[in-house]
Structure 1
Amino acid sequence: MSNESPLIQSMRTAVAAAPADVPLRLHLAELLLGEGLGEAAVAEAAVALQHAPGDAGARALMMRAMGLPAPADGKAEAAEEPEQPAAHRPSTGFDWAAAENEVAGAVPPRFVTPTPAPGPGATAPEAPLAADGSGDPGDATAWEVDTPGSVTLADVGGMQEIKDRLEAAFLAPMRNPELGRLYGKSLRGGLLMYGPPGCGKTFIARAVAGELGASFMSVSINDVLDMWMGNSERNMHEVFETARRQAPCVLFLDEVDALGAKRSRMQHGGMRNTVNQLLTELDGVGGANEGVFVLAATNVPWDVDIALRRPGRLDRTLLVLPPDAAAREAILRYHLRDRPIESVDLGKLVKVTEDLSGADLAHVCESASERALLDSTRTGVVRMINMKDLLGAAKEVRPSTDPWFASARNVAMFANEGGMYDELLAYLKKRRKL
């Protein structure tokens, strides 16, 4: 990722070479957490727990990354013990009543005062039922759902091939539900987007929601994963229930390799159960997922459980590659629109940034701004950002996609089962990266 330090990028390369090295992965997670990249730290800690479920350090790091307090001496269960009544407290010589009276004005009461019973003739409000019919209505605002936005595929610069494939394989059937019903096509679907990081998979997902006029809901591992047994599965169920209530809704599963990793590599039953729950929710027994369009994104599709790609689940794939020339021009123009620039030749800049991702291009513009700012500070004369600044920044920024292609090349050549990575192979041959 372009906003990561060179040290973290080097550590990522080392972890990719030794994925089962738990101490090395935890060191990377510590560095990410220190840089304020909490979500990335959670993802690395989760993978470490898959390799070493009983590792106390990995569990403690996961809790810190998720913003949860660490249990004292690792005994989280002790915090859940009910408080004993005053009559049954052990006699320690401590005056509990006096202490409670002393802090009564500063500390709010531990229990809410019961609501008074309704008066004569009044009707008690009926308690709402949860989706499963129980008396717990759940938290309706626990998951953030964006209303249909104005961003569409027209706002995605270039990448015409990707737009055409989205239209043919995903959008056209969804836009014509009556025609779909005529041919027995249900109003549901799943699409897996994969490719190097920073190439716009999340933005494309939002654009798809805009094309369909659907709500948008983004979910990552830290939204679902919970340290208590059974809570992760419940969270996964609640995510899909929220999407069903908001239908039509695009449910975006970010970094799905963390949420749906291969169960054959898991040693921890909790993560395995979470993947099983995800598979169950994707099936949507009884047509429950009608109007829910599931989009998933990953940088490592080879780590996604094969059952997720079964027909009826995430059965369509889309390779999202670094932006083409038209897309690079649109991205550079967007990031330079509010900055003071002069004599910028976008055509030349597009040519020298051929292998950069969208995130890399944003970093180029940021670095060029820093150069002009520093120069203005030194000379005392405010000047504009020029081509020299942009070309110098472009020369310094290394493509963040190179490590991904180094890993993907081996998978595409030697693990291309059923032609899963034919599109990637064609791109590598075209770019002479084989």
Structure 2
Amino acid sequence: MKYDVVVIGGGPSGLMAAITAGRHGANTLLIEKGKKLGRKLAISGGGRCNVTNVLPDKELIEHIPGNGKFLYSAFSIFNNYSIIDYFESLGVKLKEEDKGRMFPVNDKAITVVNRLLEQIDQHDINTKLNTKVDAIHYGEDHHTIILDDGEKIETSSVVIAVGGKSVPHTGSEGQGYAWAKKAGHTITDLYPTEVPMTSNEPFIKQKILQGISLRDVTITALKPNGKPIKTHRWDLLFTHEGVSGPAALRLSQYVVKALKKHKVDELKVSIDCFPDINEQQLVEQLMSASKQSPNKSVKQVWKPMIQERVLLYLMELAQLDPSTTYHHLEKKKVISLAHNMKNFELNVNGTLPIEKAFITGGGVSLKEIVPSEMASKIMDRLYFCGEVLDIHGYTGGFNITAAFSTGYIAGLNSAQRATNYIEE
């Protein structure tokens, strides 16, 4: 059987591409090598599915540091508000949480997945699950998909939506890059983004702070000369391997690039536990709190200000005895402690591997893609969407917004091109 559109990959972008192609009259097939569609969607947002983010376009694009500007054309056609309208039209009520993140009111990702699967049925989209694509043969009149069992499927248009190399248990193993290369496309360097950073610091290896979270702090990556590269403000988590949590995840791509650029084994990152006040104000707060309870140990007085294990570790660095009271408090040690709290430095030596990352940096070069169509400039009737492209954003609904938007554009244009091509 010959199809108008074949979409390869049943993640967020592939589902949106297939549904959109089907809605616009294309005879569509969706191929997924796993046993379920929407696996990455079902685990996104901690199983709650952060479907998009309500920030305005300009800010949205700033939160997609990996070539976000490329998406201006796509967002002019189908943006974050289009995504909200789309899901609400399917009966998925959404709510806004901190930092503009949008979730289903019932906090269940499976609701989002199920509504999309209903659309697959409603628009008579054929699906092949547990089906691996072995190769794509590109032709002038049609393209041929070769499955690993030898079956051949002819189609007018192909949409490659197989993701990057991160989260491989959902099916993203990088196979799309080979198919893109065969069509003549360039693949930019691949690297992990939104990934925990690793460190050989003794306090990390000894698990002194393992499992401790710091809320609303800043973390800054520093060049070898001490100048800042990038700062992010959000929550941070110490692990047995290094640092994680949203602030660290956002910083990770800058660390990966800087280690490579400066050809060094380690980079310093600096954590500011009190980003809204300066060192002098922090010294005054610490001294004042101790003065108000002069007979209590400084540990007891100060522990409401910061996680106790972090406090004790930083006090040790400042050589400040936790049992000291105000009567015996040396101001120079309080100044040292305040400095440590504002400049908690550690060396990081990299990140967990790309397979452990939430998102893949790099991919199909955008110089070779038409931004308003997601069409290849090299191969007629070939389209790309989602993470296989050289686009990546921070966590918080930005990557999924890019996936749904590029999926919609690819689905729409692949359908129109296929049906027009057949008429020609």
TM-score by length of 1: 0.24
> Which structure shows the higher strand fraction?
2
> Which structure shows the higher helix fraction?
1
Q: Which has the higher contact order (CA 8 A, sep 6+)?
A: 2
